[in-house]
Amino acid sequence: MDRVERIYRLHELLDANRRYGVTLERIKDRLECSRATAVRTIRDLRDYLGAPLVWNRELRRYRYEEKEGQGPWQLPGLWLGADELHALLAAERLLEQVEPGLLEPELAPLRRRIRALLQRLPGGNEALAGRVRLAPIGRRAPNPEAFRTVADALARKRRLRITYHGRASDEETERTVSPQRLVHYRDNWYLDAWCHLQRALRTFALDRIRAARILDAPARVLSDAALDRYFGRSYGIFGGPPRHVAVLRFTPERARWVADERWHPDQEGRFLDDGSYELRIPYGDPRELVMDILKYGPDVEVLGPAELRREVAGRL
pLDDT, greater one: 219 or 93: 219
pLDDT for residue 82: 57
pLDDT at 48: 77
* Number of domains comprising the chain: 4
For residue 27, pLDDT over 80 is answered with: yes
Asked if residue 139 is part of any domain, the answer here is no
Cα atoms in the 13 Å half-sphere on the side-chain side of 54: 13
Residue 227 lies in a domain: yes
- Compute CA distances 29 → 33, 41, 64, 120, whole Å: 7, 13, 19, 20
Note whether 184 and 151 are same-domain residues: yes
- Give the number of residues written for the chain: 316
Q: Which of these ranges, 93-102, 146-155, 189-198, has the smallest mean pLDDT?
A: 93-102
- Residue 18: helix, strand or coil by DSSP? coil
Q: Which domain holds residue 92?
A: 82-129
- Predicted TM-score (pTM) of this structure: 0.61
Examine residue 104 and state whether it is found in any structural domain, yes or no. Answer: yes
Residue with the larger pLDDT of the pair 159 and 82: 159
The gap from C-alpha 181 to its chain's centroid, in whole angstroms, comes to 16
Q: Which residue has the higher pLDDT, 245 or 141?
A: 245
Q: Is there a domain that residue 106 lies in?
A: yes
> Is 236 inside any structural domain?
no
Is the pLDDT assigned to residue 294 strictly greater than 70?
yes
- Do 197 and 270 sit in the same domain of this protein? no
Q: What is the CATH number of the domain that holds 48?
A: 1.10.10.10
Q: Which residues contact 205 (CB under 8 A, 6 or more apart)?
A: 140, 167, 188, 189, 190
Residue 29, domain member (yes or no) = yes
